[in-house]
Amino acid sequence: MEGTTPESTVEKIKEQIAENPILLYMKGSPKLPSCGFSAQAAQALMSCGEQFAYVDILQNPDIRAELPKYANWPTFPQLWVDGELVGGCDIIIEMFQQNELQPLIKETAEKQKSE
């Protein structure tokens, strides 16, 4: 097993984003978040009532290093929906409070089920 290169890490990130219509890159897991921002983001997503995938960047230091460059977004958590970066904690919470996150998540989940 060779060490991961930045290129192979970016490939892995692209794959994860392609395979998971709703994907949260966070510190820890939704049930055991390791940071307050990740906790809030995961809570908002869980409140939408749909399944979502997550990647614990603390367990994946290569992704933690490369994703901010790939995404052009310096911080975590990061929510990706349908291959697009939605944003970080502030944006997720704001969208949730304005009832914009729920329909986005629901539609994406519905689309995934019908495929």
Instruction: Report the CATH number at residue 29.
Output: 3.40.30.10
Give a yes or no: residue 1 inside a domain: no
> Residues 61-81: pLDDT tens digits?
999 999 999 999 999 999 999
pLDDT value at residue 114: 86
Residue type, 86: V
Residue 89 marked in a binding site: yes
- Phi and psi at residue 28, in whole multiples of 5°? 90, -155
Residue 27 marked in a binding site: yes
> Residues 11-49: pLDDT tens digits?
999 999 999 999 999 999 999 999 999 999 999 999 999
Give a yes or no: residue 59 inside a domain: yes
pTM (two decimals) = 0.94
Residue 90 marked in a binding site: yes
Give a yes or no: residue 106 inside a domain: yes
Are the beta carbons of 12 and 50 closer than 8 angstroms? no
Strands across the sheet with 22-26, in order?
53-56, 22-26, 78-81, 84-87
> Residues 44-59: pLDDT tens digits?
999 999 999 999 999 9
Residue 76 marked in a binding site: yes
CA distances from 29 to 11, 24, 44, 54, 76 (A): 22, 10, 14, 7, 13
pLDDT value at residue 4: 78
